[in-house]
Amino acid sequence: MKKVLIIIGIILLLGIGAYFVFNRKNSPKIVPGETQNQGTTNTQEESVPYPFLGDMDGDGIADQDEKELGTSDYEYDTDGDGIADKDEIDVWKTDPTKVDTDGDGFADGYEILNGFDPLGPGKLEN
């Protein structure tokens, strides 16, 4: 009986803690010196749920370009290899839609982190 009460108490404490953490995350942040908007009409900026107009995932590639490239406009790393789509295109010259651009069995992000060339055999050159 004592163990059951301890377990219930722990679960209750975890639930209360999660409640406060969740509510703190979703509460509006007020920066000193700023006033909150009260009673004004909505502007386009207030009604858009994404921080980057025209780039919903914030990866630096416009949504229209994402459609042409075949990348996701909701994920900054379409293939999930650990490299942002824009970096794959501009920096590493890898395919942002393939986890393993050179097909050697290692993800592009893994190869880069370990000093290997994601475009073929060998090490990255400095």
41 confidence band (pLDDT: 50, 70, 90): low
88 confidence band (pLDDT: 50, 70, 90): very high
Percent of the chain beyond pLDDT 90?
A: 53
Residue with tokens 């780039």: 55
Choose the weakest-confidence range: 13-17, 24-28, 52-56, 117-121. 24-28
Q: What is the gyration radius of the CA atoms in the chain, in angstroms? A: 23
- Report the alpha-carbon distance of residue 70 to residue 98 in Å, rounded: 11
Q: Are 73 and 66 in contact (CB under 8 A)?
A: yes
> What 3-state class would DSSP assign to 12?
helix
Asked if pLDDT for residue 85 goes beyond 90, the answer is yes
User: Is residue 63 exposed (0-12), middle (13-18) or buried (19+ Cβ within 10 Å)?
Assistant: middle
